[in-house]
């Protein structure tokens, strides 16, 4: 999450020199996107529409290449090379599993689903090429999308071709903000996370006085600001809205200040490495109240940096990963039986995204992309792990799917 959202939103203070890998990649991706993304995107979009001719858009109404021969061709976009390759593999495997199960039950509209995979390498430029490849293969819909930075330009290509995409992991607010009617996000965005965090602190923990701390990166600040609104909407009071420099190791001035304000709950919206230190200094200074972190800090290193004793009881808001959803137990077992490994953090969402798409095609009664878009839009209370999906007009989910887990004995666990 941190990376997908951060890809283009976390404009960290100008990189001074070589930074640690994750951030460097984020920075490079950002730079590449800013410099090339928009220009490249419009050029490609134009090309698809004029010279190549979009196979599926052009032939809308007749049987398309994607649905002929008793097969429905669905594209999967995910990063299977580069730093996020593991995430892409998790997503692809979950989607494959879903398709295998759907086909075993007789497929969709009496046809079998066939997948075609395209690697976006978590890179905006590669993603645009991958999206064009899927479009030219004649897919009727696309599922996947992990890195927001890569998914964003790709959605433009699908929009041009009129092909629906079910985005299963990427969750930047910028994707729905484009206003493309074909794009649906099954993962919650910043707003959903803020809502869940505020509910947990104010309603479930009875906290009245909330402190919010971010690191001035766009992602963390957005989450902090959204949380402030949600906390106030629930009748809580935001007594501190602080920023720190995440390059620093010493947050004690801010922490001593928090201590004097006596918050009931403190919520850190930035990343795990500074977050771990913040928790450590927070506990050492004996600041009252509970402390929690956003999904940017959803990393086991958080506990290592904070120290097991200090991290105990910290709450974390995160996208639903299969290991924390009781109903997903059977899914985990089937996944393990097929692949010999545990599902990744976004496997459950991707599995659900594929099932949702198949359901929409069934309801549409047609493999025509426009009909699938309409059916997706009309999705009502589609059951997924940990909840149901109904879409807002902008293609985001109505109910927050974020969950809260708590550190217990050094491990993340359901509260």
Partner 1 sequence: MNVWGEQLMNALVIGSFYSLIALGYSMVYGIIQLLNFAHGDVYMVGAFVGYGVLSAMSGAPLFVGLGAAFLFASLATGLLGLGVERIAYRPLLQSSRLVMLITAIGVSLVLENGVMLALGPSFRVMPVELPRSGLSLFGADVTYAQLAIIATSVGLMLLLDAFVRRTLYGKAMRAIAVNPTATALMGIPVHRVIALTFFIGSFLAGSAGVLAGVYYGKINFMMGFIVGLKAFTASVLGGIGSLPGAMLGGYLLGFLETFGAAALGGEWKDVFAFVILILILTLKPTGLLGRTGTERV
DSSP character at residue 121? T
Query: Token pair of 67, please?
Result: 């649905």
Least separation in angstroms between residue 210's CB and partner 1 is 17
Residues of span 306-345 touching partner 1 by CB under 8 A: 307, 309-310
Q: Binding of partner 1 at residue 21 (CB under 8 A)?
A: yes
Count of residues near partner 1 by CB under 8 A = 39
In the chain, % helix, strand, coil (3-state, to 5) comes to: 50, 15, 35
Residues of span 204-263 touching partner 1 by CB under 8 A: 213, 216, 242-245, 247-254, 256-257, 259-260
Task: Please provide the distance, in angstroms rounded to a whole number, between the alpha carbons at the two ends of the chain.
Answer: 21
- Which CB atom, from 19 or from 334, has the smaller least distance to partner 1? 19
Least separation in angstroms between residue 271's CB and partner 1 is 11
What interhelical angle do 2-9 and 21-32 show, nearest 10? 50
In angstroms, the CA 395 to CA 131 distance is 19
Residue 160 near residue 48 (C-beta atoms within 8 A): yes
Residues of span 47-66 touching partner 1 by CB under 8 A: none
Least separation in angstroms between residue 357's CB and partner 1 is 37
Least separation in angstroms between residue 18's CB and partner 1 is 7
In angstroms, the CA 408 to CA 360 distance is 40
In angstroms, the CA 217 to CA 153 distance is 22
Least separation in angstroms between residue 273's CB and partner 1 is 5
Residues of span 253-312 touching partner 1 by CB under 8 A: 253-254, 256-257, 259-260, 273, 276-277, 280, 283-286, 301, 304-305, 307, 309-310
C-beta contacts of 47-52 below 8 A and 24+ residues apart = 48/132, 48/135, 48/136, 48/157, 48/160, 48/161, 49/160, 52/136
Least separation in angstroms between residue 215's CB and partner 1 is 8
**Which residues here bind partner 1, judged by CB under 8 A?**
16-21, 24, 213, 216, 242-245, 247-254, 256-257, 259-260, 273, 276-277, 280, 283-286, 301, 304-305, 307, 309-310
């Amino acid at each position: 999450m941190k990376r997908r959202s951060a890809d283009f939103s976390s404009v960290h203070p100008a990189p001074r020199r070589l930074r640690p890998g994750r951030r460097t990649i984020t920075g490079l991706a950002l730079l590449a996107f800013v410099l090339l993304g928009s220009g490249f995107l419009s050029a490609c979009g134009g090309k698809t529409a004029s010279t190549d001719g979009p196979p599926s858009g052009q032939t809308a109404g007749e049987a398309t290449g994607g649905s002929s021969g008793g097969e429905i061709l669905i594209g999967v976009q995910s990063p299977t090379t580069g730093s996020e390759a593991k995430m892409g593999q998790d997503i692809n495997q979950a989607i494959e599993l879903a398709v295998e199960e759907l086909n075993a039950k007789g497929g969709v509209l009496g046809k079998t689903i066939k997948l075609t995979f395209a690697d976006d390498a978590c890179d905006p430029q590669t993603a645009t090429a991958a999206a064009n490849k899927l479009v030219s293969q004649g897919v009727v819909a696309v599922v996947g999308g992990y890195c927001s930075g890569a998914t964003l330009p790709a959605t433009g290509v699908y929009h041009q071709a009129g092909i629906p995409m079910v985005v299963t992991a990427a969750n930047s607010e910028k994707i729905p903000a484009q206003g493309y009617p074909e794009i649906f996000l099954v993962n919650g965005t910043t707003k959903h996370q803020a809502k869940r965090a505020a509910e947990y602190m104010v309603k479930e923990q009875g906290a009245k006085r909330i402190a919010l701390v971010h690191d001035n990166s766009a992602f963390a600040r957005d989450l902090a600001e959204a949380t402030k609104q949600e906390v106030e909407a629930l009748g809580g009071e935001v007594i501190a809205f602080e920023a720190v420099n995440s390059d620093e190791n010493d947050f004690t001035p801010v922490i001593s200040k928090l201590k004097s304000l006596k918050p009931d709950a403190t919520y850190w919206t930035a990343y795990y490495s500074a977050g771990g230190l913040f928790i450590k200094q927070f506990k050492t200074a004996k600041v009252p109240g509970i402390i929690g972190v956003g999904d940017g800090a959803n990393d086991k290193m958080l506990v290592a940096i904070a120290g097991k004793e200090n991290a105990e009881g910290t709450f974390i808001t995160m996208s639903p990963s299969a290991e924390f959803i009781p109903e997903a137990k059977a899914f985990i077992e089937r996944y393990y039986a097929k692949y010999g490994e545990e599902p990744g953090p976004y496997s459950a969402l991707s599995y659900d995204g594929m099932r949702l798409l198949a359901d929409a095609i069934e309801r549409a009664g047609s493999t025509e992309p426009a009909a699938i878009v309409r059916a997706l839009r009309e999705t009502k209370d589609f059951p997924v792990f940990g909840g149901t999906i109904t879409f807002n007009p902008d293609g985001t989910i109505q109910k927050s799917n974020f969950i809260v887990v708590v550190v217990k004995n050094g491990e993340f666990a359901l509260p």
